[in-house]
Amino acid sequence: MAMIVAGACGLLAGLLVGLTSMGGVLVLPALVVLLGMTPHEAIPAAMASFVVPSAIALAVVHRRRQLDLPACRATWAGAVPGALAGAALLPLVPVPVLLWGIVAMLAASAFRALARPHPPAGAGVEPSRAELALASLGVGAVSALTGTGGPVTLMPILRWRGVEPRRAVMLCQAVALPVTGFASLGFAFGAALDWALVAVLAGSTTLGAVLGLAAAPRVSVAALSRLIGAMMAVAAAVIAARLVLG
């Protein structure tokens, strides 16, 4: 039964990852609340399961010629050391403190995304390479400490900065692989992973991500903006419920 629940959660999370670059945030609460895992057990398992779907999503974006390689390199420059540092610090930092910070950021960004009009396609602020690297450094560390994959932390930053929705999704797809890959590498030296669980999560999230990526081009910019806002609101509610309920 545990593997069925994990597979269902992974499929839903992967579908949302493919559509919006987010969705992985749902996996951690599912592992902790539904399967009874501790955060220090669940975070490495969730991050390891995101590596394959993150790689596939990035490959698809690149194949569609939607990937900005200079911007991608900037996100990797920050995300790689950030993810490694976060993995090393996980045993030392109180996770609830970081999670409450993410809840506040997600809630505020969701309100902005759902309550205000959005710029048309092609309109929006373009962050500098230095801004992307600095943001990705923090995203890598926070994501490794909370098991949120990367995009769920980067997306609110980009939307507050005024980045156009499709551009923000591309940048989030770019940051996901270095965050999940290098955080998992850091966890491999100290975390006891349930590899059967990781395999089920990886397989189901990969399938969901492929389905979501196939559907993504048919979603309008306005609909994508609303979907991103809704995802951030759901993510905030799920994490807050986990913290309140213990």
Instruction: Give residue 135's pLDDT.
Output: 93
In this prediction, residue 121 has a pLDDT band, given cuts at 50, 70 and 90, of: very low
Contact between 77 and 133 under an 8 Å Cβ cutoff? The reply is yes
| Residue partners of 110: CB distance under 8 A and separation at least 6 | 229, 230, 232, 233, 236
Given a cut of 90, is residue 74 above it in pLDDT?
yes
d(CA 65, CA 133): 22
In this prediction, residue 22 has a pLDDT band, given cuts at 50, 70 and 90, of: low
In this prediction, residue 59 has a pLDDT band, given cuts at 50, 70 and 90, of: confident
In this prediction, residue 187 has a pLDDT band, given cuts at 50, 70 and 90, of: confident
Q: Pick the more confident residue, 187 or 16.
A: 187
d(CA 241, CA 210): 29
Q: What is the pTM of this model?
A: 0.76
